Each structure stands twice: as C-alpha cells, then as structure tokens.
Amino acid sequence: MLASPSHEVRELFVTGDAAEREVDLLRAAARRDVPVLLVDDRVARSLADTVHPQGVVAVVDLPRHRIDEVLRRRPRLLTVLCGVADPGNAGTVIRTADAAGSDAVVLTRGCTDPYAGKCVRAAAGSLFHLPVVTGVAPATTIDAIRDAGLSVLAATTDGELLDDVEEVLAAPTAWLFGNEAHGLDPVVAAAADRRVRVPIHGRAESLNLAAAAAVCLYASAREQRR
C-alpha cells in the first residue's frame, strides 16, 4: 500500500536486493509518481530504525486526526490511552484495538509518540487502518466522548468485575487504559462512568497493559456483535 486517505508516501529508498524482490511495489510507486531512490545497505541501515532493515524505507506524511472528527462518525468502540509511556505497549494496544474493531485510538498528552519506530513496528500496520488521535487533554476528551453518547469505562484494579458489566459493553463504549506502572491517574479514573477490572483467577497480581486491553476490548466486541 502506497497511500491511504491520510497517509501519503512522498519518497521511497530501496536497496538493490529489495528492488529485485519488490517489483510490484516499485510499479505501484511509478504509477503514483512517487520518487524512488536506490541506496546501498549502509545508507538503508542509517535510515531505518532496526538492526536488520528490509531494504525499503518510505517517507510518509504524518496524519492529523482530531477527536471531534472521530466522534462525528458515531463510533461504537474507542480505545483511549492515558499516560502510556512505552512505545512497544502503545503499538501493541493499537494493533489489538484494530483487531477488536475499535473505531479509533486516542492518546492523551504525555503518552508516547505513536509514530516512533518501536511503536510503528509493534502496531504491525494498524496505524494505517484506523484513526489515531494524539495530544488531547483527558478531562475535556472524556466529556466530549460522553456527550457523543458513549459510556466511559476505566480499566482499574479495584472496580466492578468485567463479567458483571456485559449490558454496558453492548452499547457504544470508550475504554480508558492507564500507565504501565501506575495505572490510570485517580482523577481520570474518577471521571469515568464506571471502573471495571479484569478478574484474576490465579495468583498473578495483575495483567500487563496490552493483555488487559485485549481482554476488555474483545469483551466489548463480543457483546456488540451479539
């Protein structure tokens, strides 16, 4: 894929081996008048953010999604990250949200950059599939989400059991997920309509962020598709 409504490819840097392997990609670039520059392996390594680059590096416009635009589309499932610092975790949650059918992912101020290399790799392409809103204030965003008709659920360790809120999950829902080490800020959690926890049946103290998000988002997806 060389372009989407919000991701425009400006340039491609390609090694000789990759050019032989990615013939269809280069043909698509030619059809769209995307400049292709042939580079050696040393240059490809300097451009890429991995130890073993695949030989193709693209320069892509950063999209600019806004929360009001997302809400105008009447979403049924939103994923909101509050203070999530680790790019690998953020990327994994973006990928999970995409798989569960979330209509958008929202990152509040203080979150990691979703377009950092580690986050992009962890998202595994899902950054191209759904809107990702960044830099919003938690309080005003929660108010806007609620005004748009969604229930706001805070994923915490001390709320109602997930199994007991199925009737809420069937309606349009936004999930709030907090920092890896400290969870949600108490003020943010208090602003939600309900606090919900994933049941722990074994001896583990808690789930990590990505695992908890997967359980919660798929619970919503299950109820909304019944």
> What pTM was estimated for this model as a whole?
0.84
Do 218 and 100 form a contact (C-beta atoms < 8 A)?
A: yes
Do 116 and 85 form a contact (C-beta atoms < 8 A)?
A: no
Residue for token digits 């309606």? 171
Question: What is the tens place of the pLDDT at every residue in 117-175?
Answer: 889 889 988 888 899 999 999 999 999 999 999 999 999 988 899 999 988 999 999 99
pLDDT classification of 181: cutoffs 50, 70, 90: confident
pLDDT classification of 6: cutoffs 50, 70, 90: low
110: nearest Cα among 165, 44, 184: 184
Query: Could you give the 3-state DSSP secondary structure of residue 107?
Result: strand
CA quadruple 163, 167, 170, 172: dihedral sign: negative
pLDDT at 3: 45
Instruction: Kindly list the domain boundaries of the chain, sorted by start residue.
Output: 3-60, 67-224
CA distance 97 to 216: 10
How does 117-156 read in b/e, with b if 16+ C-beta sit within 10 Å? ebbbebbeebbbebbbbbebebeebbebbeebebbbbbbb
Question: What is the tens place of the pLDDT at every residue in 9-58?
Answer: 888 899 988 888 989 999 999 998 999 989 888 888 888 777 777 888 88
Q: Is pLDDT above 90 for 62?
A: no
What's the whole-number average pLDDT of the chain? Answer: 90
Which of the listed CATH numbers 3.60.15.10, 3.40.1280.10, 3.40.1160.10, 3.50.50.60 matches domain 67-224? 3.40.1280.10
Side-chain half-sphere exposure of 153, counting CA atoms within 13 A? 30
20, 49, 77, 136, 141 from 196: Cα distances, Å: 52, 37, 16, 23, 19
Q: Is pLDDT above 70 for 4?
A: no
